[in-house]
Structure 1
Amino acid sequence: MRSLQSPTIVLVHGEFAESASWNGVIDLLAAAGQRTVAAANPLRGLAADAGAVGDLVRSIEGPIVLVGHGYGGAVITGVVADDVTGLVFVAGYAPDAGESCFTLAQQFPGSTLGEHLDAVLRADETTDLSLVQAHFHAEFAADLPEREVTRLATTQRPITREALLEPAGPRPLWKAVPSRFLIAGNDRLLPATAQRFMAERACARRVLERPTASHAAPVSEPVATAELILEAARHG
C-alpha cells in the first residue's frame, strides 16, 4: 500500500503541448506506484497559470513534487503552496524575479523561439501563438518519428504571447525548494546553455543531461524523466 506521506506528482505541460505529452512518463510512474496528476496548464498568463496550478496543488493532501516542462517550469516556479517538497524542470524555464521566458530563451545563442509561429488575435486582445506545423518537427521534436510529430503538432495547445513575455513574480519557488533539471541538449526553443545556467543558479541537486533530446523531452525521454521525478519523490 502506498504510504500516506508519499508525494503526489503534479505534471505541468509547457507551451505548444498538452497533458497527453506526459503519457509515457505517467505509465512509468504508475508502474512505480506513484500517484500522479497531470495539470491542465491554461497557457494564458504566467501569474494566472501559476495560480491555477496552485489551486490544484492546495486541493491535494500531503507532500507534492511539481514537474514542469518548458513554460510549465516557469509556472511551477510561481506556485504558492506549503507542501511542495521537490521541483523537477524538464527542458524547463526556471526564471528569477522579473525574468520572462522569452528573455531567458534569447539570453543565450541558438533559440528559434518566435521564428515560426502562427498568431491569432483573440477577443480579449491577447494573441495566441502556435508553432507552424511544417516546422514543428525541426523546432520542437527533432528526436521523434514523423508520425508521432504529426499528432503532437496537430494537438498542440497555443500559448499567449503575453504569457511568454510576462515577468516572473518576486519569490521563485526554486530558491526555497530542492530542484532537479533534465537538460535537453538538442533543444531549439530553449538552448541547453540556458537550461544549464538556470540549473546552476538554482543549485540543483541533480542535473541529468540528455544530449540528443529535443524540447519534447517528456515524450522522447520518458525513462530519464521518470527517473528524475522518482528521485525527487524519494529524496526531495
Structure 2
Amino acid sequence: MRFRISRLAVAGVAALALLTTTASATASATGGSSGGPKPTIVLVHGAWADSSNWHPVIERLRRDGYPVRAIANPLHGLTSDTAYVTSYLAAIDGPKVLVGHSYGGAVITNAATVVPDVKALVYIAGFIPVRGETIGDLAAKSAAPLPLITTPVPDGAEVTIDPARFRTAFAGDLDRILAADLATTQRPANTRAVTDASVTEGFRTIPSWALLTRQDRAISPDLQRFMDTRAGARITEVDASHAVMLSRPDAVTKLVEQAAR
C-alpha cells in the first residue's frame, strides 16, 4: 500500500509540474498571466519616410512574439490620413498599441479614440498636437526650419527634404549610403499634413509613452520635450537622430514592448 501511495504521489507531482510548465508557456505566448493575447503593434510612419523604415523594429517585435502591422500612411493631410488609419485599425481585432513616428504621432493621436481596444500610444520622435493645433503651429516652435522643397501638384502642393541636406536634417547617425538611399526614396507630404488642425486628443484617455531623440534636427529635442510633457507621456531619452527606428531599433522596440505590457 505504501508503494502504491508513493507512486500516486509521484504521478501527482509530475502532473502538477507539467500543468505548471504548460500554463507558464501559454502565458508567455499570450503576453502575461491574464491569458489575454499580446496586442497587435501598429506602426505608423511620418513624412519623408515609408513603412520599410520600421523593418528592424518589426523583426525584433516578431521575434518577441508580437503581431505587427505597418501602415502605409498616405501623407495626404491629417484629416484624410486619420480617416484612412482609422479604417485600417477597425479591421484589426483585439487589443492594439499604436506607434507613431514624427507626423505619424499626430495621426495616432486623432485615430486612437475612434476605434476600440487601443491599449497604449507610443510616440517615436513624434508630433503630439492638442485639439485645434496644427503641425505647422508646432513646427514653428522648432529650433531650425527644415530644408524643404515645395512642388505644386493637382491637389495643392507637396514638400520633400532637399536630398543634398537630407542626412543632416533627418538621419545624421546613419551611414552616408543608407542616408542617401532614404533621401532618394523619401515620400513627399501634402501641405495639408501641416495645415489640417488636430481634432481629438487620444493621449487624454489612453496611456502614452514617448521616445525623445536628443540629436534630432527635424523636430528639436526641446519641442519634443514640451509636447511629451504636455501629453503626460512616460518619456525615455536616447542619443539618436530623427531616423531613430533605423539607428536605434533596440531602444524603439524596448519602449514599444514596455507600453504593450
User: Does 1:103 pair with 2:130?
Assistant: no
Q: CA deviation at 1:111?
A: 3.0
Question: Conserved in 2, the CA contact under 8 Å of 1:87 and 1:232?
Answer: yes
Aligned to 2:231: 202
Question: Which of 145, 149, 158 matches 1:112?
Answer: 145
- Which amino acid letter does the alignment assign opposite residue 154 of structure 2? A
2:119 to 85, 92, 98: 85
Q: Secondary structure at the match of 1:87?
A: strand
Corresponding residue number in structure 2 for 1:159? 189
1:26–1:36: 8 Å Cα contact kept in structure 2? yes
2:173 is the alignment partner of 1:135 = no
Question: Which 4+ residue blocks in structure 1 deviate beyond 4 angstroms?
Answer: none
Task: Indicate which of 64, 74, 81 corresponds to 1:49.
Answer: 81
**What CA distance in whole angstroms lies between the structure 2 residues aligned with 1:6 and 1:33?**
8
Aligned to 1:174: 203
**Displacement after TM superposition at 1:161 (Å):** 1.2
Gaps (5+ residues) in structure 2? 1-25, 31-35
Q: Aligned partners of 1:81, 1:176: CA distance in 2, in Å?
A: 13
Q: How far, CA to CA, are the matches of 1:54 and 1:92 in structure 2? A: 18
Alignment deviations for residues 69-115 of structure 1 (CA, whole Å, 9 cap, x no partner)? 0000000011021210100000000100111112112224x1323xx
The Cα shift of 1:127 comes to: 0.5
Q: Distance in 2 between matches of 1:176 and 1:141?
A: 33
Structure-1 residue corresponding to 2:18: none
Q: Residues 112 and 139 of structure 1 are in contact (CA less than 8 Å); yes or no, is this contact kept in structure 2?
A: no
Deviation for aligned residue 1:27: 0.8
Q: Does 1:233 align with 2:260?
A: yes
Give the percent of matched residue pairs that are identical in Structure 1 and Structure 2: 41
TM-score (norm 2): 0.84
Select the residue among 3, 14, 22 that pairs with 2:46: 14
TM-score by length of 1: 0.93
CA-CA distance at 1:121 after TM superposition: 1.0
Unaligned runs of 5+ in 1: none
- The structure that has the greater radius of gyration is 2
Match of 1:71 among 98, 103, 120: 103
Q: Partners in 1 of 2:133 and 2:48 — Cα distance?
A: 20
Of 216, 222, 230, 2:243 maps to 216
Does the 8 Å CA contact 1:105/1:111 hold for their aligned counterparts?
no
Contact 1:8/1:37, CA 8 A, preserved across alignment: yes
- Classify the secondary structure of the residue corresponding to 2:46: coil
Aligned partner of residue 130 in structure 1, secondary structure: strand
Shift of 1:5: 2.4
CA contact (8 A) 1:183 1:196 kept: yes
Aligned partner letter, 1:151: D
